[in-house]
Amino acid sequence: MKKIAILMGSDSDADVMRQAWETIADFGVQTEVRVLSAHRTPDETVAYARSAKENGIGAIICAAGGAAHLAGVVAAVTSVPVIGVPILSKSTSGLDSLLSMVQMPKGIPVATVAIDGAKNAGLLALRILGVYDDEIYNKYEKFRSDQAEEVKRKDVALQDRIAAEKQ
């Protein structure tokens, strides 16, 4: 089974990114979680990304704030799918990070989730792996079904509450 890498430009991103690695762990998929910086450790970052496929990585999630170049640098040197997670910043509320990730040049795609959207990044990585792994695919289908059932339960509870209030 392929692993999912979770890379962060700083350990300060760990609280947000925990949602990704916990979600992935719930599906029984291994993660590699690293702090690698596009600016401060570029050689290590590029080496990691270039060897990702050979090391069993099926998708890479990159989180970064500010200029948020990590996902772009990683995507530039590997063909493993890259998912960007823009991190909320005080100065621009994460908009700078979001725009850095979604405005990639042609030929270097980075799938990007919402600001601080680590859980969805984990789920998207699982969906990517699930295309080639029936066990992950089936677990994801159950996850979707469980979500639908929860919404149906909440709808019934709300309808019951509204009906009771009318009486």
Kindly state the percentage of the chain with pLDDT values over 70: 100
The predicted pLDDT at position 22 comes to 98
- Do 86 and 161 lie in one domain? The reply is no
CA 32 from centroid of its chain's CA atoms = 13
pLDDT surpassing 80 at residue 59: yes
35-56 pLDDT per residue, tens:
999 999 999 999 999 999 999 9
9: DSSP letter: S
Judge whether residue 67 has pLDDT over 80: no
- Per-residue pLDDT at 102: 93
- What is the arithmetic mean of pLDDT over 12-17? 96
The verdict on 78 and 158 lying in the same domain is no
Residues 93 and 151 in one domain: no
What is the CB neighbour count within 10 angstroms for residue 112?
Answer: 25
What pLDDT was estimated at residue 21? 98
Number of separate domains in the chain = 2
Q: Which tokens hold the place of 153?
A: 């339960």
68 pLDDT band (50/70/90 cuts)? confident
| 71 and 124 together in one domain | yes
Residues 94 and 162 in one domain: no
Tell whether 56 and 89 lie within a shared domain.
yes
pLDDT at residue 90 tops 90: no
Q: 16: domain range?
A: 3-132
DSSP H stretches of helix in the chain: 14-26, 42-50, 70-77, 95-102, 118-130, 134-166
Confidence of residue 91 (pLDDT cuts 50, 70, 90): confident
pTM comes to 0.93
One domain for residues 91 and 17: yes
CA atoms within 13 A on the CB side of 97: 28
Lowest mean pLDDT among 55-59, 146-150, 162-166: 162-166
